[in-house]
Structure 1
Amino acid sequence: MTEFDVLVVGDANPDLLLRGDVRPRFGQAEQLLTAADLVLGGSAAITAAGCARLGLCTALFAAVGDDVFGALVRQQLTECGVTLLPADGRGAPTGLTVVLSEPDDRGMLTLPGTISALRPGDLTDELLGRARHVHVASLYLQPELATGLAGDFRRARHLGLTTSLDTNWDPAEKWESLSAILESTDFFLPNAAELHAITGRPDPDEAAASLVRNGTTVVMKDGARGARAWWPGGSCTAPGRPVDVVDTTGAGDSFNAGFLAAHLSGRPITEAITWAAIAGSLSTRAPGGTAAQATPADLPT
């Protein structure tokens, strides 16, 4: 018997979420904000929180520092019902992201700190063996981990786990090849812009087809339109749920949580992307990534 339904691997840090007149004007200009929130951030942490809220027994493998931001992360993960399995932060401070949020877009400034601390070999067989599924987030913020992830995913599959990956945006915009990793990835969860950048193909159908031929199921976040999925032998779409949007931070991570909750409860891909699209939509009802995440009652039975 495994200990956890899902082991989420990646980043955990506070998000300082600023709303209002957030586009900086230099020259010592002072601008007034309408709101500021210090909330749990990091794609992996938000995904883990969403999984726990949807009833999965969830562990997060991430590095946080022994500092005030690290204490905040640990407290909020505990409140969300996530078990933190601490990785070696190698003396770095806890990472931080400043989110400049506008109604239809956002910019992000990130201090990597412990976010980039994970290394090849950190995902041991003992660690992987504690879960049914392993999900890796924010890969491009963890370049050292990325060099060994193909082997980690192969070992995970050998141990009987299913695997998923959400790279998030590449700050360097190099979009280095993921082909070796994706060959051992059951579910790849990009948004449309990331799918285009990673494959070099602007048409989503063509981009997904280039990955599906190696056996990977592609589940694409499609903004307000919901979700699209492609797998060997099929494809489908699912609409989002109309909501009054307050903040889109972490919506893609809540989308991931909805998908994983459905997958790990044995639901088919057509239902899983419906859960994902609804979970992503509902998370935008409040500031930050975790305050308005979906509960089981929000999803179709």
Structure 2
Amino acid sequence: MLLRRERASPYDVVLAGEYYFDLIFSGLGEIPRLGADVWSEGFDAVPGANFTTARALTLLNTNVAWWCETGNDLFSTLMISAAEKEGMDTSLFQRRSENRIRVSAAFSMSADRGFISRFDGPETLPSPAVLERLSPRILLVQGLTCRNELPALFAFARSHGIYCCFDCQHVDESLEQANLPQILENADCFLLNETEATRLAGHDGLDALATIGRFTPLTVLKRGAKGAALLERDAGVLERPAPKVDVVDTTGAGDSFNAGFIYGLLQGWPLEKVLDAAVQCGSAAVTAHGGKALPVEDELLRRLQDAGK
């Protein structure tokens, strides 16, 4: 698994995927239910989803360009302002003069969270011509479901030496439906969590990893407090534990994990260390609301050194 070293542009990564603005209610005594007022001890309003990944990659000193749809609605405006404040590259934002509302009300419990979400307007992907012009080392697509153009886009990118990663996120299809197998067969790496893996494969754990791993060269399973596992075709399963941390909010953990994984790939590290970096980033994210505790590059390297990695 070799990534191209030279670049024709300043970008290490092109990230494609929607933003969300998260309204996070935490410290709930019970799960929200009909007919009851459930009060939260904590509240935060932060941009999430691919914002978290783009911000995490920026903090890790990675040159990342984020392709996403934005509009003239309140939540787009708040997200763009936050991105600019964080020093993120917003040059690939597709700014529309209409609503592009992506908002979620999240109720965060100690072990998991749920969402009520609203999504307005279409989401686009960068064209082959844009990818050829930007020439990143990695293309990371997150949460754009089984778009018909994805297999061809991945095939084009790979033919130009771009390493292609796909994150499951909102994919609702099974391995027998739509074009998910074709997408995976044209990607280099597939990232998903245990809930998504169980839904796609019909069984859980490492058995699900084995089933899904037939379709793509590298499959990565995010396992929360249990760490992570990956299956590299013809090389077997690799498992890594997670450090023990005080969990405040799991929102954004998977997005941060992906950033750590991409960062490790860019360093040319062995997959064991790449997975350790991803787990460290995901674990750091859960120690504050909305992924606010993401590590900078020096901190991640220190965490890996302290863990003997």
Same fold (TM over 0.5): yes
SS of the equivalent of 2:106 reads strand
Q: Match for residue 263 of structure 1? A: 265
The code of the aligned residue for 2:69 comes to A
1:52 to 2:58 alignment? yes
Amino acid in the other structure paired with 1:261: Y
Which sits farther off after the overlay, 277-286 or 62-71?
Answer: 62-71
The aligned residue for residue 66 of structure 1 is: 72
Distance (Å, rounded) in 1 between the aligned partners of 2:210 and 2:21: 36
Residue in 2 that maps onto 1:12: 19
Q: Corresponding residue for 1:226?
A: 227
Tell me the residue number matched to 2:4. Answer: none
Distance of aligned partners of 1:232 and 1:74 in 2 relative to their CA distance in 1, 3 Å threshold: same
Deviation track 1:110-141 (CA, whole Å, cap 9, x = no partner) reads 10124x4226xx4332235412111011133x
Return the alpha-carbon distance in structure 1 between the equivalents of residues 144 and 131 of structure 2.
Answer: 19
Greater shift after overlay, 239-248 or 12-21? 12-21
Rounded Cα–Cα distance in structure 1 between residues aligned with 2:132 and 2:293: 30
CA–CA distance in structure 2, aligned partners of residues 80 and 12 of structure 1:
15
- Identical aligned residues as a percent: 30
Check conservation: 1:227, 1:277, Cα contact below 8 A. Answer: yes
Structure 2 residue identity aligned to 1:158 = S
Distance in structure 2 (CA, Å) of the matches to 1:24 and 1:58: 37
Render the CA deviation track for 1:228-287: whole Å, top value 9, x for unaligned: 011022221111111111100010110000000000111121110010111100111111
In structure 2, the gaps of 5 or more residues are 1-7
The code of the aligned residue for 1:26 comes to L
**What's the TM-score once normalised by structure 1's chain length?**
0.88
1:251 is the counterpart of 2:256:
no
Opposite residue 213 of structure 2, the aligned amino acid is V
Q: Which amino acid aligns with 1:24?
A: P
1:89 & 1:112 partners in 2: Cα distance?
A: 15
Aligned-residue CA RMSD in angstroms? 2.0
Q: Indicate whether 1:24 and 2:32 are aligned.
A: yes
- 1:136 and 2:136 correspond: no
> Structure 1 residues 128, 110: CA separation in 2 closer, same or farther (over 3 Å shift)?
farther
* CA deviation after TM superposition for structure 1 residue 81, in Å: 3.1
Q: Does 1:101 align with 2:108?
A: yes
TM-score normalised according to structure 2 size: 0.86
- Gaps of at least 5 residues in structure 1 are none
Q: Which runs of 4+ in 1 moved over 6 A?
A: none
The residue correspondences of 1:101-250 to structure 2 (distance < 5 A) are 101-114=108-121, 116-118=122-124, 122-130=126-134, 131-140=136-145, 146-170=147-171, 173-175=172-174, 176-177=177-178, 178-200=180-202, 202-234=203-235, 235-250=237-252
Q: 1:183 to 1:90 in 2, by over 3 A?
A: farther
